[in-house]
Amino acid sequence: MLHGPADVVVEARGLSKRFGDRVALDGLDLQLPRGEIFGLLGPNGAGKSTTLNLFMGFLQPTAGTARIAGLDCARESRAVMRLVGHLPEEPALFENLTGRELVSFVLSMRGEDRPERWSEVAVSAERMGFTRELDQLIAGYSMGMRKKLALVTALAHDPAVLLLDEPTNGLDPVVAREVRSLLEERAARGVTVVLSTHLLDVAQRVCHRLGVIVKGRLRAVGDAGEVCAQAGGVATLEEAFMALTAAG
Amino acid sequence: MSGPTVAAQGRALLRMSMQGVVNSLRHRQGAGALVVFPLLLTVLLIELARFGAKGAEGVRRFLAVASYDRGTHFVALWLTVMAVAVVALKYARAIPGRGARPLFDTILFRALPVSPVTRTLFELLLGSTHAAGFVALVFSPALYGIITLRFHGPRAVLITVVISVVFNEVATLVAHALHALISRYLGGRPLDIVRVVTASVGFLLVGAFSTLGPIGVGFARRIRVGRPAPGWSESLPFWGLVRWARFDDARELSDLALWIAALVLLSVAALVWRVRAPTDISMDGPSAPTGAGRWESGLSGARVEWRMLSRQAPYLVLATPAFLVFFFAVVKGARSATGADLPFVTLMGLIGWSLIVQGTALTGAASRRWRRVLWILPTAGRDHRDAIRSLAKAHFAMTVGLSLGAALPWWFSPRPLWWWYPRQFLGMVLVIAVGQWAQSAALFLLIDPSPDRLTGLSVGGVFGVLVTAIPTVALLVLLSATGMPTWLSLVALLALLAWSLESSAVARLRWIREPTGDPDAALRVWPALRSFGVAGLAQVVVAETGEAVGLGATRTLVLSLLVFSGVLLPLAWRGAKTHSVEAKWSLPRSVATGALVGAANFALVLGVARLLRPGAGGGSPLAAAFTQTNGWVLAAIVVASTTVIPLAEELFFRGWLMPAVRREVGDARVAVALSAAVFAMVHAGAAWAPALWAGLIAGALMQRSGRLATSLAMHVTNNTLVVLAVLLGR
């Protein structure tokens, strides 16, 4: 590995995105080291998904840069995508394939269709209670199953960075807990995880650090205690969230 | 850090696409496109055959006129409009076809390490089939006409195909490039708006193109052939545009300006609505639920429908005028060009296509929601029948809105007859009402009956639209071409179809919830009508191709009748066996009574006809066939009309349809009346009133005797006497 444990893997500098007059993201500065789980918090439409889409290179920033492992996300998106496992908020999947066929497709497109990847797939599917459904047609999947499949797909090639939009949304509590522990294990192996969520307890339990985005601006960043302090010294994350949202 | 090669990625993509097709066939999921494209191809082939025989001449004359008479810019405009329309529709992805599209829409695919160029190539390769239907139907026949100016025979066909394919690919590429370019800078709602606007422009251009094409041929006819196009072609909404393109008459511009202003107003209203609506829909409609549990939260069925309606409304308002201009322009434009009705198959194909475009946008995209609605409504204390009817009502409301929009341009045009529009509009509303009923029922009926695979809706979406499209087209053609009795009987037939679909759908849905017994045993009237439709379709295809391949009108007619009976006979035989009726009369009594009634009926009808219209001979094409042919054709008509045709018709009408309706309704009188009405509809071309009368009597005889032999004897006797009368009078 080129980077030491303290190296910055995910980085944003003055990252901004406007859609017409609407400012979706305004001057985001962020540095995430290897092995960190970072939670993006914020109300609906705050700019969480826009941030992740900028890191994926789906959107062109209006100003500033987004970098992953030193690569410019907008200009070198192909190389970035090789490093990243991505979970979209509403995973649109190829309905006419089975789950296993989709995973196989994604792995072959990445040139990673190897037995050791499939053993990883088997493990993550097993832990999410998803083994049997892997061989069913995606068209018949429920929302939760789609989410699970998209997660399995995002984890399949053992990426260095995980960009996850609402990873535990729509999952039952047992599976959500498994997902959290999967993420923690990956982080312990040096994977940097950025997840967006509006579930405060998820954020608090699993993330090393949190960033609260309101109306495109990063209002607070740090661990739960620091966020509370930045919100005016409130006691709980919920109060901090309320205070920051109201202030925005 | 080298990834897989482009070739390896391409192979993986192709492999998975093929796997998707295989899966869709195996699981009957999303296979609608696989059904539709061969259908469109058939239409295209028939069309090419027709062009080969006759049409090329018309196009050639038109082009000769166009290039001779300052008209080159008209041709240029025509081609440009067509090209831009294709690109716009592709861009907006309003083009139907679910085959490979979900693959490109998947965000996972976008997240894969594929270079933008490679991705575009992949999309080009697999995605271009989506608009092939449009190119094949609208672009290729016109192109073929142009090509035949220089080349002939198979060579001309080959060149047309090559250019069409290349054009299709280029248009796809341009559309994807546009999409890539625009979405690079726009996201969320602005991107949606661009797509909505592009789609509406696409629809408008399709309308413009399909009007301009036929009018162009009409011009050629008027100027070159010396026979004027019928006056009403001047009431076409795009007439002003054509004149403008030819620098003929500047005054027409005021009409055009008014029309465009109305469209702009509508579009602006729709856009404002769209922008203010707190939804995230794109052109694809509400394809994914925005919140879990939203539908389960005790919403009433009406609220659910209203939400669906209000979400789709802006798109509908936008698509409305263009869609309906297209719809009517095809019918009217073709009339002005040829002075006759557009051949049935062509019209069916064109309008079927446009309805598929609309239908896919409306119903296909919403199907996932419908699937939820399907499960929720009964638990909310509502029956499936209610669900079907309220969906039909919601769609009816939308479509009548569409029709009003479409009526707009004609307010600014001269009218041929004051009553023409009210009648047309009333007819259309009726057709749409029953059509939507049929479509909603068909959607529900075509759900796969196995509970763990509730996935048949996408196939159902396509078929449902076709179910509406075909009768609608038939009706609209007849609406403008025939008298009230015919089209009223057609509306009745469509209503019967809708009702039978609904009953079957309700039975099927009940089976899905509580699976006991055979799921198909519950279907009663629908299978009969379906078989009837198959036989009718076979007849239409023969009738349309016969003349094109030079068979001649009479032989084509005879052959089409034979094909109709030949297809219906075995189907009806099998169907009639499933409805055993208890015989009340002996066989000799049945035959004797039937023959007597048949003879009496013949005398009665003849007498009434003489009384009403003294001196009038057999005016039907079939009667003409009797008097104008000899040899085997004559023998074939005589034998067919006295044996095969009565047998097939009796097996179907009295042996299958009547008992099926009776089992469904429980009332014999309704069954007799309904089967007689359909019987009359089939004979509408020649004489609907005597046929209705005969149908009623035959039904009553069958009901009274419990033997098919009675009505068969009556039918055979009647037909034999008719044939004898015609032969003796030759």
**B4 vs A137: CB contact, 8 Å cut-off?**
no
Cross-strand partners of A164: A87, A195
* Residue partners of B688: CB distance under 8 A and separation at least 6: B485, B486, B489, B680, B681
**How many domains, chain A?**
1
Task: Tell me which of B106, B275, B282 to substitute to probe the interface with A (most A C-beta atoms closer than 10 Å).
Answer: B106
Interface of B with A in 533-572 (CB under 8 A): none
Say how far apart CA B113 and CA B126 lie, in whole Å: 19
Residues of chain B with Cβ-Cβ distance to A60 below 8 Å are 184-185
More confident residue, B3 or B269: B3
Is residue A47 situated within a structural domain? yes
Return the residue in B22, B112, B372, B375 with the most chain A beta carbons within 10 A, the one to mutate for interface testing.
B112
Binary contact (A94, B20; C-beta < 8 A): yes
Contact B108/A79, CB-based, under 8 Å? no
Residue A161 lies in a domain: yes
Q: Does A188 fall in a domain?
A: yes
How close B573 comes to chain A (CA, Å)? 39
Given CB atoms, is B492 within the 8 Å cutoff of chain A? no
Amino acid (one-letter) located at B377? L
Q: Which of B15, B106, B454 sits opposite A93 (nearest CB)?
A: B106
CB–CB contact A24 B185 (8 Å): no
Return the residue of A nearest to B116 by Cα: A78
Whether residue A205 is contained in a domain is answered as yes
Distance of CA A15 to the CA centre of its chain: 17
CATH number at residue A88: 3.40.50.300
Length of chain A: 248
**Closest chain B residue to A90, measured at CA:** B288
B255-262 average pLDDT score: 48
CA distance B512 to B494: 26
Task: Give tens-digit pLDDT for B394-404.
Answer: 556 555 554 44
Greatest distance between any 2 Cα atoms in chain B? 95
Helix B116-127 vs helix B153-185: angle between axes, to the nearest 10 degrees? 140
pLDDT at A193 over 90: yes
Residues of A with CB under 8 A from a CB of B: 17, 19-20, 24, 50, 53, 56, 58-60, 78-79, 81-82, 84, 86, 88, 90-98, 101-102, 104-106, 108-111, 137, 139-140, 143, 150, 153, 170
Q: Is A156 a domain residue?
A: yes
> Does the beta-carbon distance from A139 to B113 stay under 8 Å?
no
pLDDT attached to residue B254? 45
The larger pLDDT score, comparing residue A10 to residue B688, is at: A10
* Facing B105 at nearest CB: one of A92, A137, A153: A92
For residues B305 and B291, what is the distance between their CA atoms, to the nearest angstrom?
Answer: 17
The minimal CB distance from A60 to the residues B15, B19, B185 is found for B185
CB contact under 8 A, B108 and A92: yes
Do B27 and A106 lie within an 8 Å CB cutoff?
Answer: no
What is the C-alpha separation between A164 and B173, in angstroms, rounded? 31
Q: Is B294 on the interface with A (CB under 8 A)?
A: no
Assigned token pair, B250: 């500047």
pLDDT of residue B296: 35
User: Which pLDDT tens digit goes with each residue over A20-42?
Assistant: 677 889 999 999 999 999 999 98
SS3 (DSSP) at A98 = strand
**Domain assignment of residue A3, yes or no:** no
Q: How far is B453 from chain A (nearest CA, A)?
A: 7
- In degrees, rounded to 5, the angle at the alpha carbon of residue A243 between the alpha carbons of residues A240 and A247 is 140
User: Contact B29/A105, CB-based, under 8 Å?
Assistant: no
B250 at interface of A, judged by CB pairs closer than 8 A: no
Helix (H) or strand (E) holding A68: strand A63-68
pLDDT at B360 over 80: no
Q: Do A78 and B21 touch (CB under 8 A)?
A: no
A74-106 burial by CB neighbour count: b if 16+ within 10 A, else e? bebbbbbbbbbbbbbbbbbbbbbbbbbbbbbbb
- Res. B10: pLDDT tops 60: yes
Give the residue from chain B lying closest to A81, CA to CA. Answer: B113
| B187 neighbourhood in chain A, CB within 8 Å | 17, 19, 24, 50, 53, 59
Q: Does pTM top 0.90 for this prediction? A: no
Report the pLDDT value the prediction gives residue B387, as an integer from 0 to 100: 62
Q: For residue A19, which residues of chain B lie inside 8 Å, CB to CB? A: 186-190
Instruction: Report chain A residues whose CB lies below 8 A from the CB of B184.
Output: 59-60
> From the candidates A96, A97, A151, A166, which should be mutated to test the interface with B, based on the most B CB atoms within 10 A?
A96
Is the sign of the CA dihedral B158, B162, B163, B165 positive or negative? positive
Whether residue A85 is contained in a domain is answered as yes
**pLDDT over 80 at A85, yes or no:** yes
pLDDT tens digit sequence for B126-185: 554 444 555 555 566 556 555 655 666 677 667 766 776 667 666 666 666 666 566 666
Residue B110: list chain A partners with CB under 8 A: 56, 58
Express each pLDDT in B196-230 by its tens digit: 566 556 655 554 444 444 444 444 333 333 333 33
The answer on pLDDT for B67 being more than 70 is: no
Q: Given an 8 Å threshold on Cβ–Cβ distance, is B16 in contact with A94? A: yes
* CB-based contacts of B329, cutoff 8 Å, min separation 6: B207, B210, B211, B214, B236, B237, B238
Tens digits of residue pLDDT in B648-669: 999 999 999 998 888 878 888 9
Q: Given this model, what pLDDT does residue A195 score?
A: 92
Residue-level pLDDT at B511: 67
Pairwise CA distance, residues A175 & A144, whole Å: 10
- With cut-offs at 50, 70 and 90, classify the pLDDT of residue B724: confident
Confidence check: pLDDT of B598 > 60: yes
Distance of CA B504 to the CA centre of its chain: 21
Of B399-413, B491-505, B610-624, B665-679, the one with minimum mean pLDDT is B399-413
The parent domain of residue A210 ranges over 8-247
State how far Cα B643 lies from the chain centre: 33
Q: Decide if B106 contacts B123 (C-beta within 8 A).
A: no
Q: How confident is the model at residue A139 (pLDDT cuts 50, 70, 90)?
A: confident
In the prediction, which pLDDT does B485 show? 56
Judge whether A1 lies within some domain. Answer: no
Which residues have a Cβ under 8 Å from the Cβ of B579 and sit 6 or more positions away? Answer: B655, B656, B659, B660, B663
The residue of chain B with its CA nearest to that of A101 is: B16
Q: HEC states along B53-96? A: HHHHHHHHHHHHHHHHCCCHHHHHHHHHHHHHHHHHHHHHCCCC
| Tens-place pLDDT, residues B223-253 | 333 333 334 334 434 444 444 333 333 334 4
